[in-house]
């Protein structure tokens, strides 16, 4: 979980983004109350719904043990780890007797450009007030180029503090209005003003919007002609992940789609600053960072020129290559041209040389070894149904999720099935193993009704659907499901429940927070052979039943009328000759 990232999970464990279908669910079903009761149980109740035979702990552990092994070296695209991963996944699909999912092929080629910073000892130099401040790579800041150039020299670029760097007409907010940043270095805050103020009427309050994501901020700065953009990691809470996740996700080999495949302006220099580094930089210009940051969250904020300039030299190696999405399929018996898609990205961060020259492998047992293992379990269950699904079911394993969901973005522009024939996407990403729960979690409720269908499936298990605990982390924009949402295809991503049978919600929150703080995007994300998989297997069964309901039904997911994704789906369906 991707670019930074990732999917990352924060204290909420995963996320779910907006999805649904036309149904008779009442309007108030859109509101999912969070559970607050804490309960314990010495003897967990038996599962209300039996697991499909193919959904079992032994297979799950074997899948994840292989994928997160040292031999696979962190599953970095463009490495031997990718070759081993792809071979293994195709072998599993063949063993299950699936058919190739990409018009007769198991793979879909995704062109990529890999840019690797060579001079990691580089420093960001800032001249202000007659003095010179230097900021070290890794500890004070991170920097890289988005332009796939071997040499980028930023020299004496004027620095402007642009607040949150947002142009959001929906909220009548434009930090760039009346300001030219062409050729300049802009400094912006992570997240959006709603998070800083807690005002539910400002953006979405504590729930991060797309405008709070680092991807958007770089894109907007590039559109406005900036030469460089540095985002301030003001706090772990505001960003949705710690500084270690920023550092680990933006160093080493960074992948992007070629400009010919994904046109648009890109920054010569993109980067991050720690809160301490930003405070020191502003202080050198005679300004108080925290005071200006507070002002930036108020309507009418005016950008501030720091009367300072930035310089940095980036030397990189640039290589053009390819990676691959992996696709397996169970063909529909009645409507083979209509498809339900499960997705789980196979890639992770790879390996790096750490302190004292020691090689560190980012195994990614949870992110996303657990998601891939869950998808394989579901694929095996579909492949062994006595009655094949009426619609086709595609199992898509995208590459380059850790590089801003590039593999899924490429698939959406080169789909194996027309998007108007794509019923829905169910994404599985980073599933912390924390035990059985009375619930499953979802983020982003209020956009569609598919979560109501998930709630109905959970009710068969005697469980409920609840809101996740940390909507401010922006998880709903950090995984492959968001590529489907932006294309208009209804999508859902759920996470493990936090109301644990053993320990209640307090235990669930603590377990999820512990993963985020100590293992997410670190070499410590490894398989534990003693995991209690009972809750994970129950969750996998839930997602299998949800997809089976869609694959055997005649429903077509749709967004709520006020969803930002509704118009694109409506336009897509209007062009379908026969109509779904």
Mean pLDDT within 220-232: 98
Same domain, 274 and 388: no
- Mean pLDDT of all residues in 549-554: 96
**Least reliable range by pLDDT among 64-68, 283-287, 442-446:** 442-446
227 pLDDT higher than 60: yes
- DSSP letter, residue 401: G
Average pLDDT, the chain: 88
Do 371 and 390 fall within a single domain? yes
* pTM reported for the whole predicted model: 0.82
Name 27's Cβ contacts closer than 8 Å, sequence gap at least 6: none
Query: For 237-370, where are the E strands, in sequence order?
Result: 253-256, 269-274, 304-330, 335-343, 350-353, 359-362
Handedness of CA 454, 456, 459, 460 (dihedral sign): negative
Q: What is the pLDDT of residue 43?
A: 61
CA distances from 239 to 14, 354, 427, 488, 489 (A): 15, 24, 23, 26, 27
pLDDT-wise least confident of 21-35, 57-71, 133-147, 149-163:
21-35
Same-domain status, 212 and 335: no
144 and 253 in a common domain: yes
Residues 372-386: what's their mean pLDDT?
A: 97
Does one domain contain both 268 and 340?
no
Instruction: Indicate whether 106 and 121 sit together in one domain.
Output: no
- The distance in angstroms from the start CA to the end CA of the chain is 33
Give the C-alpha separation, 569 to 538, whole Å. Answer: 32
- How much is the average pLDDT of 191-212? 90
Backbone φ and ψ of 258, nearest 5°: -60, 150
579 CB-side CA count, 13 A: 2
Q: Is residue 568 part of a domain?
A: no
Spatial separation of the C-alpha atoms in residues 489 and 424, rounded to whole Å: 6
**What is the distance of C-alpha 544 from the center of its chain?**
21
In this structure, is residue 28 part of a structural domain? Answer: no
Does 515 lie in the same domain as 456?
yes
DSSP state string for 429-487: --------BSEEEESSTTSBSHHHHHHHHHHHTT-EEEE-S-GGG-GGGSSTHHHHHHH
Q: Of 300, 318, 336, which marks where a domain is finished?
A: 318
Predicted confidence at residue 518, as pLDDT, reads 86
* Mean pLDDT of the 531-548 span: 96
Give me the mean pLDDT over the 75-90 stretch.
96
Residue 9: its pLDDT value, please? 33
Instruction: Band the pLDDT of 467: cuts 50, 70, 90.
Output: confident
Considering the domain architecture, whether residues 416 and 519 belong to the same structural domain is answered as yes
Does 31 score more than 90 pLDDT? no
Q: How confident is the model at residue 176 (pLDDT cuts 50, 70, 90)?
A: very high
pLDDT at 17 over 50: no
Same domain, 366 and 441: yes
Asked if residue 543 has pLDDT above 80, the reply is: yes
pLDDT of residue 479: 83
Q: What band does 515 get if pLDDT is binned at 50, 70 and 90?
A: confident
CB 550 within 8 A of CB 3: no
Q: Is 80 helix (H, G, I), strand (E, B) or coil?
A: helix
Instruction: Say if residue 33's pLDDT is above 80.
Output: no
Band (340; pLDDT cuts 50, 70, 90)? very high
- How many CB atoms sit inside 10 A of residue 460's CB? 12
Question: Maximum Cα–Cα distance for the chain, whole Å?
Answer: 77
Stretch among 34-48, 308-322, 328-342, 494-508 having the lowest mean pLDDT: 34-48
- At residue 13, does pLDDT exceed 80? no
Confidence band of 14 (pLDDT split at 50, 70, 90): very low
Residue that finishes a domain, picked among 277, 297, 318: 318
Q: CA–CA separation, 252 vs 3, rounded Å?
A: 12
State which residues form the domain around 150: 115-318
| Alpha-carbon gap, residue 368 to 371, rounded angstroms | 5
Q: Are residues 456 and 370 in the same domain?
A: yes
Which of 144, 157, 85, 91 lies closest to 115, judged by CA? Answer: 144
Instruction: Report the pLDDT value the prediction gives residue 29, as an integer from 0 to 100.
Output: 33
CB 147 within 8 A of CB 257: no
Check if the beta carbon of residue 558 is closer than 8 Å to that of residue 580: no
SS3 (DSSP) at 112: strand
Average confidence (pLDDT) over 417-434: 94
Instruction: Report the CATH number at residue 254.
Output: 3.50.30.30
What is the C-alpha to C-alpha distance for residues 336 and 99, in angstroms, rounded to an integer?
A: 13
The mean pLDDT of 154-183, rounded to a whole number, is 96
Question: Do the Cβ atoms of 228 and 160 come closer than 8 Å?
Answer: no
Residue 7 has pLDDT above 80, yes or no: no
Percentage of the chain with pLDDT > 90? 71
Residue 38: pLDDT over 50: no
β-pairing, 491-496 vs 439-442, is: antiparallel
Share of the chain above pLDDT 70, in %: 89
Same domain, 291 and 373: no
- 391: part of which helix (H) or strand (E)? strand 391-397
């Amino acid at each position: 979980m991707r670019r930074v990232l990732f999917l990352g999970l924060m204290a909420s464990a995963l996320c779910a983004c907006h999805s649904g279908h036309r149904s008779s669910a009442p309007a108030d079903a859109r509101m999912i109350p969070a559970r607050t009761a804490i309960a314990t149980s010495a003897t967990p109740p038996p599962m209300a719904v039996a697991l499909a035979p193919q959904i079992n702990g032994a297979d799950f552990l074997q899948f994840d043990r292989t994928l997160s092994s040292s031999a696979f070296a962190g599953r970095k695209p463009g490495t031997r780890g990718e070759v081993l991963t792809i071979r293994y996944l195709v072998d599993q699909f063949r063993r299950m007797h699936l058919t190739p999912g990409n018009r007769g092929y198991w793979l879909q080629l995704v062109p990529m450009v890999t840019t690797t910073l060579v001079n990691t000892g580089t420093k960001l130099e800032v001249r202000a007030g007659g003095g010179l401040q230097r900021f070290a790579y890794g500890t004070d800041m991170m920097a890289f180029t988005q332009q796939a150039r071997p040499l980028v020299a930023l020299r004496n670029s004027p620095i402007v503090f642009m607040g949150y760097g947002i142009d959001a007409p929906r909220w009548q907010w434009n930090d760039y209005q009346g300001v030219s940043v062409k050729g300049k270095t802009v400094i912006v805050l992570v997240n959006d003003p709603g998070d800083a103020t807690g005002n539910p009427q400002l953006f979405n309050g504590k729930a991060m919007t797309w405008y709070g994501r680092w991807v958007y901020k770089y894109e907007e700065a590039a559109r406005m002609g900036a030469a460089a953009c540095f985002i301030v990691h003001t706090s772990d809470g505001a960003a949705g992940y710690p500084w270690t996740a920023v550092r680990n996700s933006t160093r080493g080999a960074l992948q992007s789609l070629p400009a010919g495949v994904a046109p648009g302006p890109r920054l010569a220099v993109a980067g991050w600053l720690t809160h301490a580094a930003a405070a020191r930089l502003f202080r050198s210009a005679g300004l108080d960072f925290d005071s200006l940051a507070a002002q930036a969250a108020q309507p009418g904020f005016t950008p501030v020129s720091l009367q300072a300039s930035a310089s940095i030299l980036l030397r990189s190696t640039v290589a053009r290559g390819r990676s691959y999405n992996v696709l397996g399929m169970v063909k529909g018996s009645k409507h083979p041209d209509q498809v339900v898609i499960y997705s789980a990205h196979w890639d992770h961060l790879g390996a790096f040389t750490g302190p004292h020259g020691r090689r560190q492998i980012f195994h990614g047992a949870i992110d996303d070894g657990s998601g891939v293992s869950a998808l394989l379990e579901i694929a095996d269950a579909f492949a062994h149904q006595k009655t094949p699904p009426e619609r086709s079911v595609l199992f898509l394993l995208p590459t380059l999720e850790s590089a801003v969901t590039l593999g899924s973005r490429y698939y959406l522009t080169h789909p194996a099935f027309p998007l108007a024939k794509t019923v829905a996407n169910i994404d599985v990403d980073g599933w912390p193993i924390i035990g059985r729960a009375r619930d499953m979690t979802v983020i982003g409720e209020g956009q569609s009704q598919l979560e109501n269908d998930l709630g109905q499936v959970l009710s068969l298990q005697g469980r409920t659907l609840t809101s996740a605990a940390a909507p401010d982390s922006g998880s709903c924009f950090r995984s492959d499901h968001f590529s489907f949402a932006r294309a208009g295809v209804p999508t859902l991503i759920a996470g493990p429940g936090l109301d644990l049978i053993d320990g209640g919600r307090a235990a669930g929150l603590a377990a999820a927070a512990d993963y985020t703080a100590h293992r997410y995007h670190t070499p410590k994300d490894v398989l534990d052979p003693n995991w209690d998989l009972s809750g994970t297997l129950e969750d996998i069964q839930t997602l299998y039943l949800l997809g089976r309901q869609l694959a055997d039904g005649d429903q077509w997911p749709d967004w709520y009328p006020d969803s930002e994704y509704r118009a694109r789906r409506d336009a897509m369906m209007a062009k379908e000759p026969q109509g779904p």
